[in-house]
Amino acid sequence: MYNTSFVKKIFLAVIAVFLYSCDKDFNALGDGLVGDDHFGLEPEKYDVVAFNQEVTPIQSNNLGTNALGIYDDPVFGTTTASFVTQIGLETYAPTIGESPVIESVTLSIPYFNTLKTTNDDGSHTYELDSIYGDKNGKLKLSIYESGMQMRNSYFNNGSQLPQYYYTDQDADFSGKKSGDRLNDSTNKLENDEFFFSSQEISVTTIDPDTKKETVDRSVPAMNLTLNKKFFEDKILKAAASKLSTEDIFQEYFRGLYFNVERSGSSPANMALIDFSGGKIIIKYKAKTAITTDADSTTEDKTITLLLKSGYSTGVASTASFLQTVRKPDYESAITTNVNKTEGDERLYLKGGQGSLSVIRLTDFASQLETIRASNWKVNEANLVFTIDADKMTGLVEPNRVYLYDLTNNTPLIDYYSDGTSNTVQPGLSKYVFGGIINLDSNKRGTTYKIRITDHVRNLIKDATAKNVDLGLVVSQSINVSASNVLKLKNETISQAPKASVMSPLGTILYGSKASVAEDKRVRLEVYYTKPN
């Protein structure tokens, strides 16, 4: 009995210590926001100034995902996206063999996809992701050897600087493409009438001895036959020194340039693609040894080229080129009709070489002294943006927008402090920070809500903290927070988030001008705990 009682006492003591520790942790997390002298949460709304800002030609090398195709957006306009990439040998200084004879050259670049069904025969049915425009759209696709070497740095007044390439440089690369079209198959579905196919790639081989069939299956991909003579001369018959190292190879074979045009009167479309997963497979036969015997044996051989950075740590291995013809209303909204004093009625966010919005917390900043003197504690602070559903009717909506420190081109503290993640759907990571689209019962967007609680707390706590301009953009990936530089800086912005450059989409939000209905006008909403 004594031992049992003693154990019970120890157990209760441990629980008491544990609960006390938890209480201490809770209060530390709340940062003194809730106490005995506080009561209920009271929302306060502050006017903001929100206006449009054009994104002029912007750095577009090494984006992670790249657009290819033509996207006709009835609100924003038409964007034509071409692409250039360096390529590298999977293995440098390869042993080619004697008297090589090429058999086939295949370019394969997987598409983003979702597996829908697995069939009884082992085949699969897929649905393509990240296709914009008519699902049955066609393109005239032309692939050329690039005539421009993409360098990763240059010298200016004795300083070595990183080399950037920009969204408006299509003419530079198109004008220097080398030779004839490489995807010159007689099958028009691989060139003049190319389309993004959701069909599984299936290759059947037959064993010459057993006659047994083997089927190799892979996900949907751009699967093109390339010119054999070009690759036989360029690779198989190249001087060994040209294939010896990465640096030499990049000078020798400067990459591939992907150009798109309209395919006759067919509707067009655009895809986002991770080109780094692409490969060029060269299959050929070569003699096994030098011999005078006319019947000397040959062997099947393969050389693989990778669509990736030629320079392992370089900054200039790929680039996207975006040619945009804007709709008149959109053009005027982001250039001539911008109101930086009262804010704009509508905020136009568009990825690529598009537009962003500048948000200024002027009303809140003017009341900081009163808030500090009143000892108000911030429980939560949000910016809520309402989508103009009428203007966005029938359009593909961005799943996410991203708010950042535009003055310093860095993420907000709330971005860093949100450790939430989603391995199944990475686009839903950092869901506390927010910016994820809210949908109605018809699966159409209503609002985007972004939490900036820590940012607002810092402005209250630190009287020296600068009330920076905030930038709002569409985002292709919330996990990419870096910014890309503009080709020509202006008085408002010098950079824009890389994740926005990757996105082809746009959205229209209600702005901050007084003419916008109060229930739709963008405002800062802060919930306080106030002393008695």
Q: DSSP assignment of 61-93, as one string? A: BS-SSEEEEEEEETTTEEEEEEEEE--EESSSS
Tokens describing residue 466: 């600068």
- Based on the fold, state whether residues 271 and 386 are members of the same structural domain: no
**Residues 472, 339 share a domain:** yes
Percentage of the chain lying above the pLDDT 90 cut: 78
- How far is Cα 207 from Cα 216, in angstroms, rounded to an integer? 13
Q: What is the pLDDT of residue 12?
A: 45
pLDDT for residue 521: 97
Regarding pTM above 0.85, the answer is yes
Are residue 313 and residue 415 in the same domain, yes or no?
no
Helices (H), 313-355: 328-334
Q: Are residues 92 and 190 in the same domain?
A: yes
Q: Looking at the structure, do residues 397 and 492 belong to the same domain, yes or no?
A: yes
Q: Which residues contact 102 (CB under 8 A, 6 or more apart)?
A: 228, 229, 231, 232, 236, 282, 283, 284
Q: Is there a single domain that holds both residue 130 and residue 219?
A: yes
Q: For residue 20, is pLDDT > 50?
A: no
What would the two tokens of residue 227 be? 């010119």
Task: Assess whether 265 and 346 both reside in one domain.
Answer: no
**Integer CA distances (angstroms), 78 to 52, 54, 325, 355, 384, in order:** 20, 16, 5, 14, 29
**Cα-flanking dihedrals φ and ψ of residue 330, to 5°?**
-65, -45
Q: What secondary structure does DSSP assign to 415-466, as a single string?
A: HHH-----SS-GGGSSTTTEEEEEE-TTS-EEEEEEE-HHHHHHHHH-TT--
Q: What is the residue-averaged pLDDT of the chain?
A: 89
Verify that 316 and 357 share a domain, yes or no.
Answer: no
Residues 390 and 478 in one domain: yes
Residue 114 domain flag: yes
For the ranges 11-15, 146-150, 340-344, the lowest mean pLDDT is seen at: 11-15
Instruction: For Cα atoms 129, 133, 138, give the angle at the middle one, nearest 5 degrees.
Output: 95
For Cα atoms 33, 411, 166, give the angle at the middle one, nearest 5 degrees. 165
Beta carbons of 411 and 481 less than 8 angstroms apart: yes
- Closest by Cα among 457, 500, 451, 493 to 477: 500
Per-residue pLDDT band at 9 (split at 50, 70, 90): very low
**18 φ/ψ sector (left φ>0, alpha ψ -120 to 50, else beta):** alpha
In a domain, 1, yes or no: no
In angstroms, the CA 435 to CA 399 distance is 8
DSSP codes of every residue in 254-291: --EEEEEEE-TTS--EEEEE-GGG-EEEEEEEEESS--
The count of structural domains within the chain is 2
Choose one of 300, 322, 344: the last residue of a domain: 322
Residues 206-237: tens digit of each pLDDT: 877 787 888 889 999 999 999 999 999 999 99
Give domain status of residue 6, yes or no: no
Report yes or no: 105 and 226 within 8 Å, Cβ to Cβ.
yes
Quote the tokens at residue 314. 């370089």
In a domain, 12, yes or no: no
Domain identity same for 312 and 337: no
Question: Which range of residues forms the domain containing residue 427?
Answer: 37-56+327-531
Residue positions counted in the chain: 532
Q: Identify the weakest region by mean pLDDT among 126-130, 214-218, 473-477.
A: 214-218
Residue 9 falls inside a structural domain: no
Whether the per-residue pLDDT at 28 is higher than 50: the answer is no
Residues 250, 236: Cα–Cα separation, whole Å: 16
Q: Is residue 271 located within the same domain as residue 339?
A: no
- Predicted confidence at residue 41, as pLDDT, reads 66
Please tell me whether residues 189 and 318 are part of one structural domain.
yes
Q: Which of 272, 296, 322 is the last residue before a domain boundary?
A: 322
For 370, residues 6+ apart whose C-beta sits below 8 A from its C-beta are none
Q: Which of 322, 349, 366 is the last residue of a domain?
A: 322
Residue 66 is assigned to a structural domain of this protein? no
d(C-alpha 151, C-alpha 250), whole Å: 9
**25-29, 155-159, 196-200, 355-359: least confidently modelled range:** 25-29
| Average pLDDT estimate for 304-318 | 68
Q: SS3 of 4, please?
A: helix
Residue 70 inside a domain? The answer is no
d(CA 450, CA 470): 12
Residue 81 lies in a domain: yes
Average pLDDT over residues 86-113: 95
